Each structure stands twice: as C-alpha cells, then as structure tokens.
Amino acid sequence: MTDTDRTLDLACELIARASVTPEDAGCQALMMQRLEALGFHCTPLPFEDTQNFWAQWGTSGPLLAFAGHTDVVPPGPASEWDSDPFVPTVRDGLLYGRGAADMKGSLAAMIVACEDFLAKRKPQGSIGFLITSDEEGPATNGTVRVMQWLAERGINIDYCVVGEPSSSEALGDTIKNGRRGSLNAELKIHGRQGHVAYPQHADNPLHGALPALGELITRQWDQGNEYFPATSFQITNLHTGTGATNVIPGHVDLLLNFRFSTEQTSNSLQEAVEKTLADHSVKADIQWKLSGDPFITAEGELTNACRAAVLEVTGIETQLSTSGGTSDGRFIAPYGAQLVELGPINASIHRVNEHVRVDDLPKLAAMYEGILRRLLPEN
C-alpha cells in the first residue's frame, strides 16, 4: 500500500465520523488503535463533555508532540455541498469532506509519519500525541485541561507540531511560529432614554460614546515587531435603540476585539480602553474575556527542522508567519515548548466543499516524518 493510500484511507475514515464539536464520534478510538499498534501508551482524558487523549512512545527526552483536534465545525445545509460533507469524496484530485483540511488530513499524516519513522528507527527521545474534541468550540475542556494534567505529572513537551492548516498557496509555503493574542469585551454604555423632541431631558449614550470610540479606532497601539504586525482594534457589534425614530436610546451594547502583539498585554489594553472612556465621561459596564495571549517560537531547532523537512519534500523555502486567528497552540506554548503549526492549504476551511489535495496528504506525512528524523536522532 502506498503512502498516498494510507494517508488518504485514514483521512477518509476520520472524515466519515461526524465529529461536530464537542463530539468525537470515534475518531480518537481509531487513532489510539493505530498508535497502540506502534507501542504508544494511550490515556483517554475525558473532561466534562470533551473527549481528549494523551499518547506517548518512549520515556526519555526530548519529547516531540503532535497536537490536534478531531472536532469540526458544523457543515451547514448539506444541500449546499456538492457531496455529503461526511461522505469523503475524491474528485479531480481533491478530497472533499468536513474536516479534510481542518484538520483530519493532518491527523492522518501524523499517524502515517510515526508509522514510517518507527518502522525504520529506534530513536532517542519520545513522541507524544495531544488530541482534543474541543478546539472548534469553547476550548475549555480540551487542550488547556490536558496541559494541566501533563504538568501535574511532570511531563514537559520540548517540541510541538500542531496540524492546523497553515499553508496559503502551496503545501508548506507557510509555517505559523506564533499567534497574536485575542482580547474581547462586552460593553454596556449607559445614558438616559427620552423623547427626541426633548433632548434636554435625556442623555444619548451613543452621542457620548462616539468621541471615545473614534479615539480608540484611530489610535496607533504599537508598531508591532519583527514577529508580529501592529496591534489592531475592531468594533465587531453595536446595538442601540428601541427601533423607533423618536426615542433617544437609554444604553448602547457594544462588542470589541483586540488582536495584539507581544508589544502589549491584556492588562495594558484594558487599562487604555477604560481610561479613554473615563476621559470622555462615558459610563460603561465592561466584561473582558481573554481568548489567549500572544506567543512566539523564535527561530531555532524546531523551525530549522520544519524548514528543512518542507524543502526536502517540496523544494519550497517556507516562510514563518504569525498571521491568522488563534489556535490551541496558545495553551501549549506557555509551558515552554517550541511550537509551530504546519498543515494543509487553508483556503477552504470552515467553508462549503472543504477539501485538501490528495497528493498533499503523503507529502505532509513525509514532512512530519522529516521533522521527527531531524529532532529525534537514532540511538
């Protein structure tokens, strides 16, 4: 059986399991079966409604872990797909199905990479798998809980490869070696409701808030740095009023988001927003939620191994990037691991007719095997 067949067959088996967050639908059992056959010790770690597992081959250092998720986002109406989203279908060299790119193709490639690597070598060090069914949802009972479990047992990941779809135009052209932080806020800005004909008896909260919001929108928060673009501020939702044209609203509800670099902290951003509102005498209740702090893996052993593996398989000189949204890497990097995200082309993720190139699956497995080979040399 060729590598194409092995990675494709396993990817299809995973896609066929309708594992919409937080359901796992048997994906992890399938993965653990393959890993146990290689000598991995697998530990299921269910927390609340989320299925997770940790698998480990070997006990010595260094420890290289593959991390990923078996859950997928809802496919939406099946009628909008050209084929059933949970019936893996190959057309014109592409594998279609929900999760093909995000990230069941990567999970299949990780397993095949380990099968190939361990069939040829008995390496120094250890290999781990950290898999969750909670990445696409609230992310409260998945990777974050598994990392706590590992820390309690003194298990420290040295290198981590997350299988998120990092590539832009061609497999391996981009590797994520960090992510921006994400900070959200819900604001209720208070005023006093009244008739528009008698504004002296009311206090329009939107009018009062606009100068402060304008200042926040136009502010240059920082210049970024060698790894990150400048911090960005976005108002993502604004609602006010009763629906009537003759009523001054009594309050404004507002949602906002920061995507921030290591030039900022969540505390510095919160303080700046609260001070700006106070300077403009805006009365507001604010609920802050930090989705994740920024993290970065500087160029070193892991990024060098990834670059060399990509070059070996595809001939591409890969680029390092911190663009895009958050990932579960934000829960792993703070424990000191060097971490990268390397996976398929991301153009179709979360979309109707999500797909991955069939020929990219064995190439991705070969990249992962190349990383193992470079970081876990033979005894």
Concatenated DSSP letters for 277-294? Answer: HHHTT--EEEEEEEEE--
Q: How confident is the model at residue 91 (pLDDT cuts 50, 70, 90)?
A: very high
Q: Give the torsion through C-alpha atoms of 275, 278, 283, 289, to 10 deg.
A: 0
The pLDDT value given to residue 326: 83
Q: How confident is the model at residue 379 (pLDDT cuts 50, 70, 90)?
A: confident
Catalytic residues: 71, 135
Q: Please indicate if the annotation marks 82 as binding a ligand.
A: no
**Which of 9, 79, 25 is closest to 352 using CA atoms?**
79
Q: Please indicate if the annotation marks 239 as binding a ligand.
A: no
Provide DSSP, 69-98.
E--B-----GGGSSS-TTS-EEETTEEEST
Q: What is the per-residue pLDDT across 268-296, written as a single tens digit (0 to 9) for each? A: 999 999 999 999 999 999 999 999 899 99
| pLDDT higher than threshold 80 for residue 37 | yes
Q: Please indicate if the annotation marks 369 as binding a ligand.
A: no
Q: What is the per-residue pLDDT across 22-31, written as a single tens digit (0 to 9) for each? A: 999 999 999 9
CA 180 from centre of chain: 11
Do residues 212 and 276 make contact, with C-beta atoms less than 8 angstroms apart? Answer: yes
Tell me what the mean pLDDT of segment 350-376 comes to. Answer: 97
- Tally of CB atoms within 10 A around 39: 11
The pLDDT value given to residue 324: 83
What residues contact 213, with CB distance under 8 A and at least 6 apart?
235, 254
Say if strands 319-321 and 174-176 run parallel, antiparallel, or are unpaired. parallel
**Which of 234, 230, 227, 130 is closest to 179 using CA atoms?**
227
Question: What phi and psi, each to the nearest 5 degrees, are found at residue 87?
Answer: -115, 95
Q: Please indicate if the annotation marks 102 as binding a ligand.
A: yes
The pLDDT value given to residue 1: 53
Domains for the chain: give ranges and CATH numbers. 3-179+294-375 (3.40.630.10), 181-292 (3.30.70.360)
* One-letter amino acid for residue 185 of the chain: A
Q: How confident is the model at residue 5 (pLDDT cuts 50, 70, 90)?
A: confident
Say if strands 94-96 and 89-91 run parallel, antiparallel, or are unpaired. antiparallel
Q: What is the per-residue pLDDT across 143-157, written as a single tens digit (0 to 9) for each? A: 999 999 999 999 999
The pLDDT value given to residue 4: 61
Q: Please indicate if the annotation marks 69 as binding a ligand.
A: yes
**Averaged pLDDT of the chain:** 96
Q: Strand (E) positions, 171-250?
A: 174-176, 178-179, 181-190, 194-195, 232-240, 247-248
Question: How far apart, in Å, do the first and last CA atoms of the chain sit?
Answer: 29
* Rounded Cα distance, 66 and 34, in Å: 15
What residues contact 112, with CB distance under 8 A and at least 6 apart?
3, 6, 7, 10, 362, 365
The pLDDT value given to residue 2: 59
Q: How confident is the model at residue 3 (pLDDT cuts 50, 70, 90)?
A: low
- Tally of CB atoms within 10 A around 376: 24
- Report pTM: 0.89
CA 317 from centre of chain: 24
Tell me what the mean pLDDT of segment 309-331 comes to. Answer: 93
Q: What is the per-residue pLDDT across 175-231, written as a single tens digit (0 to 9) for each? A: 999 999 999 999 999 999 999 999 999 999 999 999 999 999 999 999 999 999 999
Helices (H), the chain: 3-15, 27-37, 105-120, 143-152, 205-218, 266-279, 301-314, 329-332, 360-375
The pLDDT value given to residue 120: 92
